[in-house]
Amino acid sequence: MSATRREVLARSGALGVGIAFTGAMSELFTGTATALGHTGYGPLVPDPDGLLDLPKGFRYRVLSREGDQLRSGEGRVPSNHDGMAAFAGRSGSGDRHGRVVHLVRNHENRNTGRIPVPTIEGLTYDPMGKGGCTSLTVDARGNVLDERVAIAGTAVNCAGGPTPWGTWLTCEETEDKAGTNGYTKDHGFIFEVDPAQPHRTGAVPLTAMGRFQHEAIAVDPKRGIVYETEDAFERPFGLFYRFLPNKPEGGRGSLRAGGRLQAMRVPGVPDLSSIQETGASFDRVEWVDVPDPLAAQTAIRFQDFGPKGITHAQKLEGCYWGGKSVYFVSSFAHSSDGSAADHFGQIWRYDPDARRLTLVIVFGPDTDVQLPGESPDNICLAPSGGLMVCEDGGGVQHVYGVTRRGEVYAMARNRQNIGTPEEPEWGEFAGVTFSPDGRTMYVNCYTPGTTFAVTGPWRR
């Protein structure tokens, strides 16, 4: 694949936004919509209410904010809004066709979370866990019909991913065991959540899928294989996994039947950050059985994978399935932290048919490392046929769009200052996702926890 450098400067008033990246974007996307122009949807318009800047013609509605009362009466909306997905549903309270959207939203609360997820009988794993998920039911007009706890008693629910059978897999980004930080049960698992009827799935850890600092997942709809990313905070860094389920046909509860957990080995590449050229491909990717998926004594990334070792990467985060491949994000790598080399974000593509791994995109600031544009996190496909990327770096925080032709533009800017006027600070975006009909983008502001619904001329 030829590497072509593109850079776009998107501006909002006097505030500049810079991104530079390399790579061929077309293979990322499978949509058929026409790509947008060089400036995306146009410059961002300052929001007079100081919440969210959007291009002209777009508007937002605040669906939920931390601290408000859940409509179910179960308690307050929890803090730290993170990964999220949207599912089609039906309800007599929706529009004239009965259509609604079910949103499942993670809350990345640790044991010191500001507002914990309320514990609910039948939905609570560990009463001392402060994290979990809430679900919202939204009608076609953007009205919130219901908001309730979907799972509780979990910890550090960061990201996850949807399944082809319409459930959400929420991931704990921790390795804390029972007796640590007050927990009464081991943590570091994946849990399945039914977006419409959470009591159908309860709070059952999918232990065969591994106990580690989970980030996100993506499911191969043909084979039923689940790919998993690990966001480990210190060396040795995380691994990229696949789970081979005993019931590959899927279905709610099928993952409880167990399976095999394997980690990716790229021969001769112990650290993915050492690869810097977009288009670099490796055709002999190997998958190695994890010795102890429950990490009873040793964290998986420390375990013995044989004399050939295993392949690590810093900050493995977003993960999604597109076309015939799985894509995953390395948010950044810093040699000062122990990585083999530095980068400001990568997107990798793994083709299971060819067993080929390819570096598709390398992100980075335009000229100044203090500018936004580094540290891509949550990602999703957009109705335009392109990509939406949540930024999780320093300074001003954006949701970026990337067209099929590789042009980058600012789609939204967080205006909620959680710092001071003298030293402003803005929380990251997370959980970007679209309604099944592609007419609404849902996205979270991590702190203060806020869930937005954005509508406008998406297919313009």
**Residue 248 reports pLDDT greater than 50:** yes
Q: Do residues 15 and 6 make contact, with C-beta atoms less than 8 angstroms apart?
A: no
**Residue 372 reports pLDDT greater than 50:** no
Tell me whether the omega of the peptide bond preceding residue 236 falls within 30 degrees of 0, making it cis.
Answer: yes
Q: Buried (b) or exposed (e) across 70-103, using 16+ Cβ within 10 A?
A: beeebbebbbbbbbbbbbebebeebeeeebbbbb
pLDDT tens digits for 30-67?
333 333 444 589 999 999 999 999 999 999 999 999 99
**Residue 18 — pLDDT band, cuts 50, 70, 90?**
very low
Check residue 323 and give its pLDDT: 86
pLDDT tens digits for 282-327?
999 999 999 999 999 999 999 999 999 999 999 999 898 988 999 9
Q: Do residues 172 and 166 make contact, with C-beta atoms less than 8 angstroms apart?
A: no
Would residue 249 count as lying in a domain? yes
Backbone angles phi, psi at 358, to 5 degrees: -135, 135
Q: Which ranges in 90-208 belong to alpha helices (H)?
A: none
Check residue 214 and give its pLDDT: 98
CA 196 to chain centre: 21
pLDDT tens digits for 325-335?
999 999 889 99
| C-alpha–C-alpha distance, residues 188 and 154, integer Å | 9
**Residue 344 reports pLDDT greater than 80:** yes
Would residue 414 count as lying in a domain? no
**Residue 15 — pLDDT band, cuts 50, 70, 90?**
very low
| C-alpha–C-alpha distance, residues 392 and 377, integer Å | 6
Check residue 326 and give its pLDDT: 95
Which residue in 329, 404, 415 sits closest to 374, CA to CA? Answer: 329
277 vs 185, more confident: 185
Would residue 323 count as lying in a domain? yes
Would residue 360 count as lying in a domain? yes
Q: Do residues 18 and 368 make contact, with C-beta atoms less than 8 angstroms apart?
A: yes
Q: Do residues 260 and 235 make contact, with C-beta atoms less than 8 angstroms apart?
A: no
**Residue 19 reports pLDDT greater than 50:** no
- Residue 301 CB contacts under 8 Å (≥ 6 apart), including other chains: 212, 230, 232, 236, 237, 238, 239, 310, 312
Mean pLDDT, the chain, rounded, equals 87
Would residue 222 count as lying in a domain? yes
Would residue 12 count as lying in a domain? yes
Tally the domains of the chain: 1
Which residue in 139, 142, 213, 204 sits closest to 175, CA to CA? Answer: 213
Region 339-357 average pLDDT: 94
User: No. of H helices and E strands in the chain?
Assistant: 0, 29
- Residue 242 CB contacts under 8 Å (≥ 6 apart), including other chains: 225, 226, 227, 228, 261, 262, 264, 287
Tell me whether the omega of the peptide bond preceding residue 267 falls within 30 degrees of 0, making it cis.
Answer: no
Q: Do residues 344 and 4 make contact, with C-beta atoms less than 8 angstroms apart?
A: no
CATH of the domain at 9: 2.120.10.30
Percentage of the chain lying above the pLDDT 90 cut = 72
pLDDT tens digits for 219-239?
999 999 999 999 998 899 999
98 vs 318, more confident: 318
Would residue 413 count as lying in a domain? no
| C-alpha–C-alpha distance, residues 379 and 29, integer Å | 12
Backbone angles phi, psi at 359, to 5 degrees: -80, 115
pLDDT tens digits for 441-455?
999 999 999 999 999
Check residue 379 and give its pLDDT: 79
pLDDT tens digits for 171-203?
999 999 999 999 999 999 999 999 999 999 999
| C-alpha–C-alpha distance, residues 329 and 345, integer Å | 7
Check residue 407 and give its pLDDT: 72
Check residue 14 and give its pLDDT: 24
Check residue 267 and give its pLDDT: 97
Check residue 99 and give its pLDDT: 87
Would residue 460 count as lying in a domain? no
**Residue 375 — pLDDT band, cuts 50, 70, 90?**
low
Check residue 64 and give its pLDDT: 97
- Across 24-28, 39-43, 108-112, 208-212, the highest mean pLDDT is recorded for 208-212
**Residue 131: which domain range?**
5-403+425-455
